[in-house]
Amino acid sequence: MRLLPLSQIPLFTGRPACEAAFQLPFVCGRTSFQRDAVSATNALQQWYNQSTGLWQTTGWWNSANCITTLAELTSYDRKVERITSHIWPNTFEKAQNYNLRQTKSPQSCPTTVCTRRRRIRRDVKRIGNFYEETNTNPAGFLNGFYDDEGWWGLAWIKVYDLTKQPQYLQAATDIFEDMVRTGANATCGGIWWDKKKQHNVAISNELFLHLAASLANRKPNGDYYLAWAQRQWDWFGQSGLINSENLINDGINITTCKNNGQEVWSYNQGVILGALVELHTAAPDARLLTRARQIATAAMRKLSDRNGILHDPREPNLGGDGYQFKGVFMRNLLALQRATGDEAIKTYLERNAQSVWDNARNGSLLGPVWSGPFYPANAATQSSALDALVGAAGVQ
């Protein structure tokens, strides 16, 4: 798909009138994207399960992303704390005690590698047309998969930034130490995707880098985490995961130690941006932001339609995992925009948020195809699109 020059893209200027019936209060006259994000947050909460601390209709790692985007919104709209201040401690307690279950269709995993891997990741019992999957005896936020652990680590970093409560930073620290202790010895370098040491993929390595750099900026012994972050980036940048188009493929072939050439998903282009911003904060180096902008620019061009709206391959058939991907990209794109002041990124964030609200919405429910039409929403599509709204609100 080809991204048109900004001058050729018509901008929507009409906005709905300031509404008065939200569950959360807001101030008329504040940015409309922030108002839309509050409305979408209220809708997201219909899926929140107080007993488990997770969001129904989506999975374990997706719930960590719900936490992350809600924390981002709360950071600049403190009225949202009327909801989120109850979520943080409830999820922190209940999710750890929950014997992880997910219900997904057999087609829920969108990538070739993912299809091969994720169906074996938990014990599976078929129930009608769906599978109930259980992860036996999860220890806190640890399980057998380093990407899952990384998502929860970053979620609790965000909550720590808001609350300064030490238990959240400690949870992120414990997750990182598990990744180092059991995962940082992968064939071809980096860390494994799984504790069975069967796969080496981009996302787990990006999350490890992001978490290491984040801890370097927050822990008193930051040099320890910085050393891991720099070591990880040195490897990642030379691993071949970033292809000749400045895009990141799904993983590494552990037989050849080369890029496996599989799909370019938006979330792989996203996490690395946030990771490089954190690493630049810990150890300023302009080359890190330059590289991040190269990846971001390539992704915005390659993964956008002619109107500049973000897509992943095979929409709307993205499955339980793929529904989350685009929001991850937008969230980390926001971090890069804040670090660089890039006007093209700001416009991109606003354009996509506008399209979500105008074309992918039914009431306050947000579907998976941001250019429209509306397809059925769930907690993953809702929180992913919420990331787009929060990203646009964040640059206002």
Q: E strands within 239-334? A: 251-253, 258-259
Which residue in 114, 46, 107 sits closest to 267, CA to CA?
Answer: 114
How high is the pLDDT of residue 135?
A: 41
pLDDT higher at 157 or 21:
157
Taking only the tens place, the pLDDT of each residue in 328-382 is 999 999 999 999 999 999 999 999 999 999 999 999 999 999 999 999 999 999 9
Taking only the tens place, the pLDDT of each residue in 64-101 is 999 999 999 999 898 899 999 999 999 999 999 884 44
255 burial level (CB within 10 Å; 0-12, 13-18, 19+): exposed
Mean pLDDT of 251-260: 97
Can you count the helices (H) and strands (E) in the chain? 14, 10
How high is the pLDDT of residue 231?
A: 98
How high is the pLDDT of residue 101?
A: 43
How high is the pLDDT of residue 275?
A: 98
How high is the pLDDT of residue 302?
A: 97
Taking only the tens place, the pLDDT of each residue in 215-241 is 999 999 999 999 999 999 999 999 999
How high is the pLDDT of residue 334?
A: 98
> Which of the following CATH numbers is that of domain 6-394: 1.50.10.20, 3.90.1580.10, 3.40.50.300, 1.10.150.530?
1.50.10.20
pTM: 0.85
Q: E strands within the chain? A: 48-49, 54-55, 101-104, 123-127, 130-134, 200-201, 251-253, 258-259, 361-362, 365-366
DSSP characters over 114-181: HHHHHTTSSEEEEETTEEEEE-SS-BTTB-SBHHHHHHHHHHHHHHHHHH--HHHHHHHHHHHHHHHH
**Contact, 276 vs 214, CB < 8 A?**
no
pLDDT higher at 137 or 44:
44
Dihedral of CA atoms 197, 198, 202, 207 in degrees, nearest 10, equals -30
Question: Which sign does the torsion angle of CA 158, 162, 164, 166 carry?
Answer: negative
What does the domain layout of the chain look like in residue ranges? Answer: 6-394
Looking at the chain, how many residues does it have?
A: 396
Mean pLDDT of 260-288: 98
**Contact, 326 vs 384, CB < 8 A?**
yes
How high is the pLDDT of residue 31?
A: 52
For residue 15, pLDDT over 50 is answered with no
How high is the pLDDT of residue 16?
A: 36
Mean pLDDT of the chain, nearest integer:
86
Q: To which residue do tokens 């900004």 refer?
A: 6
| Distance of alpha carbon 394 from alpha carbon 388, whole angstroms | 10
For residue 36, pLDDT over 60 is answered with yes
Mean pLDDT of 48-53: 96
Give the whole-number percent of the chain exceeding pLDDT 70: 82
